[in-house]
Chain A
C-alpha cells in the first residue's frame, strides 16, 4: 500500500512509518507532508500553509513533533515517523483521541490530527502536564473553530482510561452532551476534506491570477505556450465558459466572472487556468504564462472609492453597491432633546476567515452530468450557480460536499468549483484543484471593513432615547454578500435594547480589493463594536453602572425592536445580563483591588450585549428534511445541512430522534449531497439548528404519526425499534409491526416523512419596518483583562459568556460554538487585520493561538423560542459578536482610553494612552 508505482523508478527511501518498515518511492526533495499524502496516500496529515505557520501537518520524527511541510523526505531516511494514522496503536494517543471526543475538542477536524500528534509528543514525555506545558506543546498548531479551551481540557483529561458515555435512550437526546456523531473519523484523521481522496488519475488545475489590484490584460500566444508545455491538457479562459461568465450568492447582484475577460478588478482575480498532468502542472512557473498586464489606477479604501469618478462597475454609480436603511421615529429630534449624548467614529479592518483548510476539491464528468466534490457551506446554491456558468440544468450537477475544514461564511461563495466544473466538463477527465494558503487568503472573501459614525442619546434616568447610525462598508470588487451586510447592520445596530427613535443608514462600497462577503455575523460584529462602546460612554455620562445601564434598556418581550417587531416569549437578553451580575460584581471588586496598588499594569472589566436574527433577512429560507424507516428497522436521516464543524450532524439528529421517539443509535446519517439530501439551505446566519433542526423535528413527528397510524396507537405511545420490527406500546397494549413485509417506496423506505420549515418573516418596508427574522438569539460577554500601559499589550484573564440559546440541544457543542466565537472575537479585537495584497500567509496575518485564549465560563440561558425545535435558537454567530466590544470596554475601563479602531494592537493602544496624556 505504501508504494506509488508512478515514482517506483526512483530510488526508494527506507523509514519506519507508524511501526512498519517501508521504502518510499518518491523524490527525496519532496516535503515529507507531500510524500505522505501523494506517494503514500496517507491523507490524515493535513496541509494548511506549507510554511510551518499552522502545524496541521505535525508528525513525530523520532518522537519529536515536527511540521512535515518543513522536512524533506530524504531527511527522514532511517527515521521513525508517526502520523495520525499510527496514533491508535499507541496507548496514550488512543486515550487522547477518546478524550477529544468526550470534551468536544474536535470541531471541523482539520487541525485535529496535528493537535493529537503534538499532544502525543507531550504526553509520552510527561504523563501529567500542567496547563502551561500543554499550551507550550500545542502552541504551534492553529485551530480556528474551538477556541482551544476544550483541547486543553481534553489533553489534561487524557491521563486515564475513561468509558465513552452511552448514547441516550429514546426521548433523552435533546439536552444530552453526546459525542459528535461524526467525531470518530475526525480524531482518527479519516475525515475526507477537500484536498483528500480524489481520483488517482485526476488532472491538476492551477489558476493564473492578476498581480495587480486593477489591470487590463491581453493574452499572448496561448497555443504556443501549450505546445511548449506538452503536459498541459487545456488552457481555460473566459472564452471557454459555455454559460454565463458570472456568478454571485445573491442572484440579482451577481457580478463576479469566473475568469476576468479583459481586466481584473482585484489582486488575485482569476484570468485563466492550466489543466494537465499533475507533475508537469506543478512544475510550471506560472510567471511565464503569456499575458501582458497594463496596471490601472486602483481604489483600495472607502475614501478613494467614494470620491472617485471612475467606477469599479459601470452600472453602480458612486461605487455604491447597495444602501441599507432602518428608520423609526425621529432620531434627530430625539437626540436634540436627550439629556446625555455621546458619539464616535469607529473603524474595523479586513478580517480573514483563516480556516485551516484552504479551499480544495475535484470534479468529474459523469456522462452528461457533472459531479463536484469540494468543501462548501452551500451545496444547492453552488449547484444552481454552476448550472448557470456551465449552461446546464441544475439537475445535471451534483454537489457532494467534502468535510469542511472551517468555513465561517467564506465557503458560502464559490471558490474552486467553477474552475473544476469547467475543466472536468471540457477535458472529460477528473480534475483537482487545491488552493495554496496564499491563494486562499488572496482570493476568497473577507469580513467587511466598516467605518461607522454613531450618535446615541439617553434621558437623565439612563433610558435610551435615540440612535443615529451611519455605516460604510468596503465590499471589495464584487457583490458577494455585501447587500446582506448592508441590510443586516441597520436592523441590528441598536443592539438588544429598546430604542424609541432610530435611524441607521448603510452603504456597501466597491473598491479594487478582494470581495468582502460573509463572515460570522454579516457586519453585526462591526456595528456592535461601535454600539456597545458608546453605551458604556453613555452610562458613564449618566453616572449609571455599565451593566445596570444595559439592564435598564434591555429589550423586553413586549417592546418593539427598531423594525417594529414585538418578539414576545424568548426575548432572553435580560436573563443574559442578570446572569452576569455576580460575575460583574466579583470582577469589578478584584480589578479595583488590584488597581489600588500603583502599577504599570492596569486591570479592567468590560461587558457587552448582542442580538442576532437567525436565518435570512425577510427572505424565504426553507430547509427540508427526509426521514425514512428501512425494512431492517434502521432510520435514514437525509440531513442536508452541511456540518462545517459546528455540529449540525449531531444536533439535528438529536432533535429528530426525540421528535420521533427513537434512540440515536438507530439512525444512519446521510450527509449533504444534492443527489441524496433535500435542500437544507446554506450553513450560515445561525440557521441550521433553528431552521433545519425544525425541519428535522417536523419530519420526526410526521414519521412518528405515520408509524402510530400503522398501529392505531395514541400520540403518547412508545416506540421500540427492533431489527426488522417496531413494537408500539400504548399503555398496556403492545403492537408489533413487522417491517419486512411492508412495501418500500422509491427510496427503499417502508415509512417515510419529508418536511419543510420556512421561518415566518415579513418584508421590510422602505423604512426597514417589518419582521426580518422569526427568532433572535441573545447574549452578553464579560471580559476581565490587564493592560501593560507602557507596552500597550493586553493580557486576557477570563471571559464569561451568557447566551440565550432557547434550548441547548447539545450543551457541549453549544459551548464549543461560544468558545470558538470568542476566540475569533479576540482576534477581531486585538490582532487580526488583512492588508490587501500583502501578508497573504499565517505569520503576517495573526489569529489567536492556544496561548491567547483565556479561561472561558459559558452560562447557557434557555428561554425557549416557541417556534424553534424544542425551543432552540442559533448560536454560531451570536457567540462572536459581543467579544470584541467587551474587550474594548475592558481596555477603556483599565486605561481610560477608547480604542475606536480595531484591531487594538499594542502600538494602537500605546498611542492612545500617550495621546490621552497630552
Chain B
C-alpha cells in the first residue's frame, strides 16, 4: 500500500496503519529494504509542503524535516549553518544530497550521520509531531543510540529548530573518510564559535562517528574560552578532552586511530572556526 497524504494531519492519521513506515528521501529507506519486497504500508511525505522549506521565526531558524541537503546548501543562511552546509556537501553524492532529507538523517540515527555534529553545535532542537500534538527535544535527547531515537509510535520529525542567536556564530566542519566521495565518516567535527573582543567567547563542539551517538565536548569547549589566536587552539586541546568518546574498531579504522585523529581534526576545525569567526 503506497499512501500519499495531502496534509501532515492526514499523514499522521495514516501512521495508525499497522506496520506503516514513512518514506521521504528514500536514501536510507531503500538500502535497508534490500532485496525484500515491500509488504508494509508506505506513507510518502516527501511532497508535504508543511515539512519542507526553511523559515525564520522570531527565535529560531526552522528547517522542514523533509528539506533535502541540496535545498539546505542552496538556501542563504546565517554563518552558523556553514558547518551544516559543509556537511551536506559531503553526504554521499549529489544524487543523495538531491533526495536525502535532514529529518531522515536524524531518524536513521547512524553514529556516522553527517548532519548530527553540525546540528548539535547549533543547539538544534527536533520538533516531533503526532496526532496528540507537538513536542520538542534537544537533538542530543532525540538520538538515543546506534539506530535508536526517542520517536514514539505515531510520531514524525516535522522540523529542526536552530536558535537564531546560536546561528549567528561562525562555524566550521571537518570530515575524515578513506576516499573523496560516497564515504562514511571515520571522524567528523563541527565547531560553532563566537568571539568577544577577539577572544573565544563561546565554543560549541560536537564530534561524530566516535561513539554510538555524536556528542558535545564540554571540556574542550571550556578549554577554548578566552583563546586569542587560532594558532593557540591546538595547545589548548588535548586527548583528555576526548575521554568520553567510545570509538569502535571497524572496517574503516581502528578505535585507537579514531581517538587520535579526532583530536587532530578537532584542533584543525576549531582553528578554522576561529578564523571564520574573526572574519
Residues of A within 8 A of B (CB): 27-29, 31, 50-53, 55, 58, 61, 64-67, 69-72, 74-75, 77, 118, 121, 135-137, 139-142, 282-283, 285, 436, 438, 790-793, 830-831, 833, 835, 838-839, 843-844, 846, 848-852, 905-907, 910-911, 914
Contact = CB atoms under 8 A, between A and B. Distances in A.
A52 B94 contact: no
A606 B46 CA distance: 51
> Lowest 5 A-B CB distances belong to which pairs?
A140-B93, A851-B180, A139-B181, A907-B257, A28-B2
Contacts of B44: 72, 74-75
Contacts of B264: 790-791
A64 B100 CA distance: 13
B182 A906 contact: no
B36 A906 contact: no
A907 to B, nearest CB: 3
A72 B2 CA distance: 9
21 contacts: A28-B2, A50-B30, A70-B25, A70-B26, A70-B30, A74-B44, A118-B94, A136-B89, A140-B93, A141-B93, A283-B39, A285-B36, A438-B35, A830-B178, A846-B179, A850-B180, A906-B176, A906-B178, A906-B257, A907-B186, A910-B257
Contact of A75 (B23, B36, B94, B256): B23
B157 interface: no
Is chain A's interface secondary structure helix, strand, loop, or mixed overall? loop
A497 B225 CA distance: 61
A52 B4 CA distance: 23
B230 interface: no
Interface in B53-75: 70
Contacts of A141: 93
Contacts of A27: 2
Interface string B172-212: 00001011111110100000000000000000000000000
Given A139-B93, A907-B186, 9 more contacts: A52-B31, A52-B96, A66-B99, A70-B96, A142-B182, A831-B178, A907-B253, A907-B254, A911-B256
B30 A52 contact: yes
Nearest to B187: A791
A911 B257 CA distance: 8
B181 A140 contact: yes
B182 A843 contact: yes
B145 interface: no
A658 B72 CA distance: 58
A707 to B, nearest CB: 54
Contacts of B70: 64
B27 interface: yes
Contact of B261 (A61, A65, A910): A910
Interface in B203-228: none
B178 A905 contact: yes
B243 interface: no
A849 B182 contact: yes
B265 interface: yes
Is chain B's interface secondary structure helix, strand, loop, or mixed overall? loop
B27 A70 contact: yes
B30 A31 contact: yes
Nearest to A911: B257
A64 B93 CA distance: 12
B266 to A, nearest CB: 12
A14 B97 CA distance: 25
Interface residues of B, number: 49
Contacts of A58: 95
Contacts of A66: 95, 98-99
B42 A838 contact: no
Nearest to B36: A285
B9 interface: no
A71 B42 contact: no
A830 B39 CA distance: 41
B37 interface: yes
Contacts of A142: 182
B278 interface: no
B38 interface: yes
A793 B98 contact: no
B260 interface: yes
B154 interface: no
B251 A67 contact: no
Contacts of B252: 844, 905
Given A58-B95, A64-B70, A142-B182, A50 B253 contact: no
Nearest to B32: A51
Given A67-B96, A72-B23, A852 B180 contact: yes
B251 A833 contact: yes
Contact of B99 (A31, A67, A136, A910): A67
Given A849-B181, A905-B253, A51 B261 contact: no
Contact of B42 (A29, A438, A907): A29
A791 B265 contact: yes
A872 to B, nearest CB: 34
B89 to A, nearest CB: 8
Interface in B250-279: 251-254, 256-258, 260-261, 264-265
B235 interface: no
B37 A283 contact: yes
Interface in B72-102: 89, 92-96, 98-99
B34 interface: yes
Nearest to B35: A436
Interface string B1-38: 11010000000000000000001011101110011111
Contacts of A55: 93, 95
B97 to A, nearest CB: 9
A80 to B, nearest CB: 14
A229 to B, nearest CB: 14
Given A843-B182, A852-B180, A50 B34 contact: yes
Contacts of B179: 831, 846, 848-849, 851-852
A118 B96 CA distance: 12
Interface in B126-182: 176, 178-182
A839 B93 CA distance: 20
Contact of B176 (A136, A793, A850): A793
B61 to A, nearest CB: 24
Contacts of A846: 178-179, 183
Contacts of B23: 72, 75
A230 B29 CA distance: 30
Given A65-B98, A66-B98, A53 B176 contact: no
Given A66-B99, A906-B186, A851 B181 contact: yes
B276 to A, nearest CB: 21
A792 B98 contact: no
Nearest to A33: B30
Contacts of B261: 791-792, 906-907, 910
Contact of A52 (B38, B95, B256, B257): B95
A850 B94 CA distance: 13
Contacts of A61: 98
Contacts of A140: 92-96, 181-182
Nearest to B183: A846
Most buried by A among B2, B254, B264: B2
Contacts of B258: 907
Contacts of B251: 833, 835, 838-839, 844
Given A70-B30, A793-B176, A833-B251, A139 B182 contact: yes
A111 to B, nearest CB: 13
Contact of B26 (A28, A75, A118, A438): A75
Contact of B180 (A839, A844, A849, A906): A849
A914 B94 CA distance: 37
Contacts of A136: 89, 94
A908 B2 CA distance: 47
B99 A70 contact: yes
Contacts of B47: 75
Contact of B2 (A31, A74, A436): A74
A50 B180 contact: no
Contacts of A852: 179-180
